[in-house]
Amino acid sequence: MALTKTYTIDKIEVVGTYKHIQVKQLLIISEDGQEISRNAHRYVLTPDMDISNQPQEVQNICNTAWTQDVKDAWIAFKQQQENKLG
Amino acid sequence: MGTIYVDEIKHQSAQGSGTITLGASGETINIPSGVTLTNNGTQTGLTLSDNILFNTASKGIYLGVTTATASNLLDDYEEGTWTPIIVSGFTGTPVYSATDTYGRYTKIGNRVFVNGSIKIDSGITASGAGLQYGGLPFTSLNAGQVPGGFYFTYNLSWSTSGTASFYLIMNANNTTLFVTGTNGIGIPGNTAGITLQGSTINIAGQYVV
């Protein structure tokens, strides 16, 4: 009985004004090739983040969505929030 | 084969308890649009023996209405995990506790319910930047309103003479929670009395996406 863990990207979504990238990962555990469990894990990437460790398909979407205008707008929005709450 | 016109199909035993099989595994039983399934018996409702699985993503069930109404459509439900992080309020590279840093979420429609725990074991020095927690699993609603509510608890000192209570505020278009005092001003990470490293922070709340 061999247990195997497989991580896959199930969904990549571009969300909102600042083109946040929502990533849904699936952890699939199989026993002798038969799937026995499947769990979702989520994270969100924002235009100021380092994406060099992300899977290539995620990087490709980030690079398409995050134009310089989007990055600048996100940085300005963050700064505005921090000024207000800081 | 062509069309068969009948008024009733019953099990051959005619005793009301037999099983009638339509089609076989992998086949499709097509019920055209506009057909109504009714129950003429005394027992109400429809009993299924297994889960319902749509063959197209983002399909759901209209609840409580007899016409398709967007606000009554339940077309999204998801459970999963997320990883809380501290975004701001320190310098250095945080080393998170593997056992005390975790998060879970449930998304029902456009609302996300989250809980999580976060603990930094080492690697940071508190700074004057405002404290922010992040890593939430979905970006909040793109609207100019506070999209949700949160609370948090902590197991080491988080008391300052000038701040009776702490709040977590989430703005639109965010995956970040800002820690503020009662005056709505952000709390710097190096505020006297706050123990940032070594303290286990538990967060719970919900927000709209």
Q: Per-residue DSSP letters for B103-166?
A: EEEEEETTEEEEEEEEEEEEEEEE-SSBPEEE--SSPPPSSSS--EEEEEEESS-B-BTTBS--
Over residues B70-106, the pLDDT tens digits come to 999 999 999 999 999 999 999 999 999 999 999 999 9
Q: Express each pLDDT in A4-25 by its tens digit.
A: 999 999 999 999 999 999 999 9
Q: How far apart, in whole angstroms, are the C-alpha atoms of residue A71 and residue B150?
A: 28
Q: Calculate how close chain B gets to A32, using CA atoms only, in Å.
A: 24
Percent above pLDDT 90 for chain B: 51
Q: Contact A40/B79 with Cβ under 8 angstroms?
A: yes
Which residues from B are below 8 Å from A85, CB to CB?
A: 130, 169, 178, 180, 184-186
Is there a contact between A77 and B173 if contact means CB atoms under 8 Å apart? Answer: yes
| pTM of the shown model | 0.86
Per-residue pLDDT tens digits for B7-38: 888 888 867 678 889 999 889 889 888 888 87
CA distance A1 to chain B (A): 27
Q: B173 and A20 in contact by Cβ < 8 A?
A: yes
Average pLDDT for residues B152-180, to the nearest whole number? 79
Taking any CB pair shorter than 8 Å as contact, residues of chain A touching chain B are 15-18, 20, 22, 24, 39-44, 46, 77, 81-82, 85-86
Domain borders along chain A are: 3-85
- Largest pairwise CA distance in chain B: 84
Which amino acid, B80? G
CB pairs under 8 A between A and B: 62
